[in-house]
Structure 1
Amino acid sequence: MLVLKQFKLFLTDLPSPVNLNSMYNFGSMLGLVYVVQMVTGLLLSLFYFVDLSGGYESVVLIMKDLSYGWVVRFMHSFGASVMFICVYLHILRGCLYSGVKMQVVWLTGVFIMMVLMGIAFMGYVLPWGQMSYWGMTVVTSMLGAFPLVGGLITGVLWGSYTAGVVSLSRFFSLHYVLSFVMGGLIALHLLVLHNKGSSNPLGVFSGGDKILFSPSYSFKDSLGFLVVLFLYFLGVFYLAYTLMDETNFEEVNFMSTPVHIKPEWYFLFAYCILRAVESKLGGVILMLMAVGVLAVFGCVSVRCSGSLVVYGINKILIMVWVVSFVMLVYLGGLGVEYPYSGLSVVFTLAYFTCILMLSLVGWLL
């Protein structure tokens, strides 16, 4: 009874600000997507195996021989895109509506995003297609650029002198285990959030003007669930192959590299930043800082009064930041050639400049 009482207090009887809008739906939508990803991932793990040739044959088995295996696989692969769409919009909402001022909540959220990106990258390797293998080889070899520890990190990930089947086994294990670790981090994120209460679009204290979460916000969240289910329906039955690279349908060829190596779309912004710098170590550091700079943003902007979006200069900075992010995603999918390489440098500078200026403005206001 005590557990049920705490559960009810945590979810349905939670005091919430009266002016939460639809941008606050992405947290609950992420919860639904996480559950779907865990269920479909567990089902896929029952039939996925790594043999001497890798994991390509097991993917073919799941797609062709298992009853509705193709549905489960498409739900899991397209669900990763749905999750990252919700994550990026969730972060944007935090930037717009003073969520960044809740320092501990923001920092735990940034850490969850880092773990999520690691999980997604490992999952991208598991089909063991041509693009999966060479994308993994290129990105992990970049970690060897770190002085002293770079070779150790690469060796632990590869498990050998080169990336191969041993690496695939390690990535599968980490992909499986870290998914549960992320669940614990999500619980911590919610615990910290509900300890102090949610932010609101105005970014002001709302302790004297709150309502119970249920039924008003429960109904509003259910509409977000319908959007997620609709996206899954589109992804499984109409857009299943749209976000997949055609090169990844080829089995690994260790003697031939693809003409243009690129990861999934949700990594393209970081991949574009990596390529924008000629220095190998500098590119890796900037790639990691593409997400790490959000933690700096959360540590510096706690002094601002009200939501960042109420200040005119912040609206412009956030708009330029979003445009820079979208352009980095677009340019990351193109070849390293003129004029795309030059534009990558421009939008990389714009991306980091906007975040740092937002941090400075938030600290001064």
Structure 2
Amino acid sequence: MKKKLTNIIFPLINLPTPSNISFMWNFGSLLMICLMNQIMTGLFLAFHYKTDINLAFQSIINMNRNINFGWLIRSFHANGASMFFIMMYIHISRGIYMNSFNFKMTWIMGVILLLLTMMTAFVGYVLPWGQMSFWGATVITNLLSAIPYLGNSIVIWIWGGFSINNATLTRFFSIHFILPFIIIMFTLIHLMFLHMTGSNNPLGINNYDKITFSPYFIIKDLIGLIMFLWMFLILTLIFPYLLNDNNNFIMANSLITPNHIQPEWYFLFSYSILRAIPNKLGGVIALMSSILILLIMPILNNKKLPNNKFYPLNKIMFWMFMMTFFMLTWIGTQSVEYPFIEMGQIFTIMYFLYFFLNYYLMKFWDKMI
């Protein structure tokens, strides 16, 4: 048994790693910490949660008020989801900037992980059974009715009836509980492909100057972990409701519609893209494309030099893309009215154009060399 464990652990701690990778490579390990936090806190919350539309909201209040450290576990879980997405978005942004999508299978597994995480977060957001939980679930699940021929049947099947009810809540809870274990499986596949190719590096070159992962990068990851825990504890203990929606402190009421229905902040960029398209089916396609378009990045990467560092115009384009992402997130918080509809449409076009203009700017720069 000891020999088997040694055979597993030894290759991990002695993995040859490029000597020049920076702190921007810390976010993969931080995502693992976030995933473990979500699974552990979610397990304890599941002990006390009631999958009943009449009791779900009260069970959340009971956790906060009557269960020992229930308020802390719930705060860790709710804010842990936000930190998970912050770390994930930074991890993906670093991958785009440093051309990590050259490792095709690792990149594809990463995009699948993003989709699974978003699905898990969406069904989890419904469980507190607050006003925004209920109406967010109603609006988003209704989008599936845009699918030709089968749409309405799929929506009724997901709901378990003709409206969101007990069956819906039970199904969402079951999905929310099982998906993290599927995410673990895909994470292991993601790591397997990463260990087959090795890590990328800031220069994007085949770097033969490598050192062992232990102790150098374990220490670097620990420093990153300390900084992450510092930010996470400030958010959790001092500003626990900073990223929550006020309407979710009110029990779900199907007779009262909130003035402005919006999902959690980490979905707002996709939600803005959905709102920007007047056609319902077109909006759903644009919503899915906002994530799936990441899969074309390895295809649109035929260039002479290995990294964005050698392409000044592409570096400018990248930061414009980051600005577009933040603007779409902000627009998602605003009402559906002038000028936010028009702004959303402009930034939606800019969002999708980046992936193609980035390729042509690379080609233009290659010709100048």
TM-score between the two structures when normalised by the length of structure 1: 0.96
State the Cα deviation string for residues 207-243 of structure 1 (Å, max 9, x = none): x211001111110000111122112211221111111
In the TM superposition, residue 134 of structure 1 has moved relative to its aligned partner by 0.2
Q: Which amino acid in structure 1 is aligned with residue 301 of structure 2?
A: S
Q: Distance in 2 between matches of 1:291 and 1:105?
A: 16
Q: Distance in 2 between matches of 1:306 and 1:179?
A: 35
- Superposed CA RMSD in Å reads 1.5
In the TM superposition, residue 151 of structure 1 has moved relative to its aligned partner by 2.2
1:238 corresponding residue in structure 2: 238
1:340 corresponding residue in structure 2: 340
Q: 1:209-220 alignment to 2 at 5 Å?
A: 209-220=209-220
Q: Name the SS of the counterpart of 1:293 in structure 2.
A: helix
Q: Name the SS of the counterpart of 1:223 in structure 2.
A: helix
Unaligned 5+ runs, structure 1: none
In the TM superposition, residue 298 of structure 1 has moved relative to its aligned partner by 2.8
State the Cα deviation string for residues 29-55 of structure 1 (Å, max 9, x = none): 111111111110111111111125151
Q: Distance in 2 between matches of 1:70 and 1:299?
A: 47
Residue 276 in structure 1 maps to residue 256 in structure 2 = no
Q: Are residues 147 and 216 of structure 1, via their aligned partners in 2, closer, same or farther at CA, if it must alter by over 3 Å? A: same
Q: Distance in 1 between matches of 2:11 and 2:156?
A: 44
Residues 134 and 261, structure 1, Cα contact 8 Å, conserved in 2: yes
1:297 corresponding residue in structure 2: 297
Aligned residue pair count: 364
Q: Distance in 1 between matches of 2:270 and 2:309?
A: 25
Q: Distance in 2 between matches of 1:153 and 1:8?
A: 45
2:182 corresponding residue in structure 1: 181
Q: 1:1-365 alignment to 2 at 5 Å?
A: 1-206=2-207, 208-301=208-301, 305-361=305-361
Q: Name the SS of the counterpart of 1:299 in structure 2.
A: coil
- The 10-residue stretch of structure 1 (51-60 or 313-322) with the greater mean CA deviation from structure 2: 51-60
Q: Which amino acid in structure 2 is aligned with residue 314 of structure 1?
A: N
Q: Which amino acid in structure 2 is aligned with residue 289 of structure 1?
A: S
Q: Name the SS of the counterpart of 2:299 in structure 1.
A: helix
- The 10-residue stretch of structure 1 (73-82 or 97-106) with the greater mean CA deviation from structure 2: 97-106
Q: Which amino acid in structure 2 is aligned with residue 198 of structure 1?
A: S
Q: Which amino acid in structure 2 is aligned with residue 357 of structure 1?
A: L
Q: Distance in 1 between matches of 2:100 and 2:302?
A: 9
Residues 268 and 330, structure 2, Cα contact 8 Å, conserved in 1: yes
Q: Distance in 2 between matches of 1:352 and 1:83?
A: 24
Q: Are residues 304 and 45 of structure 1, via their aligned partners in 2, closer, same or farther at CA, if it must alter by over 3 Å? A: farther
In the TM superposition, residue 7 of structure 1 has moved relative to its aligned partner by 2.9
Residues 300 and 363, structure 1, Cα contact 8 Å, conserved in 2: no
Q: Distance in 2 between matches of 1:51 and 1:309?
A: 54
Residues 79 and 240, structure 2, Cα contact 8 Å, conserved in 1: yes
Q: Distance in 2 between matches of 1:249 and 1:10?
A: 49
Residues 53 and 129, structure 2, Cα contact 8 Å, conserved in 1: no
Q: Distance in 2 between matches of 1:147 and 1:274?
A: 18
State the Cα deviation string for residues 160-188 of structure 1 (Å, max 9, x = none): 11112211110000001011000000000
Q: Distance in 1 between matches of 2:89 and 2:158?
A: 28
TM-score between the two structures when normalised by the length of structure 2: 0.95
In the TM superposition, residue 256 of structure 1 has moved relative to its aligned partner by 1.0
Residues 10 and 194, structure 1, Cα contact 8 Å, conserved in 2: no
Identity of aligned residues (%): 37
Residues 54 and 165, structure 1, Cα contact 8 Å, conserved in 2: no
Q: Are residues 52 and 342 of structure 1, via their aligned partners in 2, closer, same or farther at CA, if it must alter by over 3 Å? A: closer
Residues 50 and 168, structure 1, Cα contact 8 Å, conserved in 2: yes
Residues 98 and 201, structure 1, Cα contact 8 Å, conserved in 2: no
Residues 276 and 341, structure 2, Cα contact 8 Å, conserved in 1: yes
Q: Distance in 2 between matches of 1:310 and 1:75?
A: 41
Q: Name the SS of the counterpart of 1:127 in structure 2.
A: coil
State the Cα deviation string for residues 120-155 of structure 1 (Å, max 9, x = none): 011111100001000010011011101123223312
Q: Name the SS of the counterpart of 1:298 in structure 2.
A: coil
Q: Which amino acid in structure 2 is aligned with residue 222 of structure 1?
A: L
Q: Are residues 141 and 218 of structure 1, via their aligned partners in 2, closer, same or farther at CA, if it must alter by over 3 Å? A: same
Q: Which amino acid in structure 2 is aligned with residue 278 of structure 1?
A: P
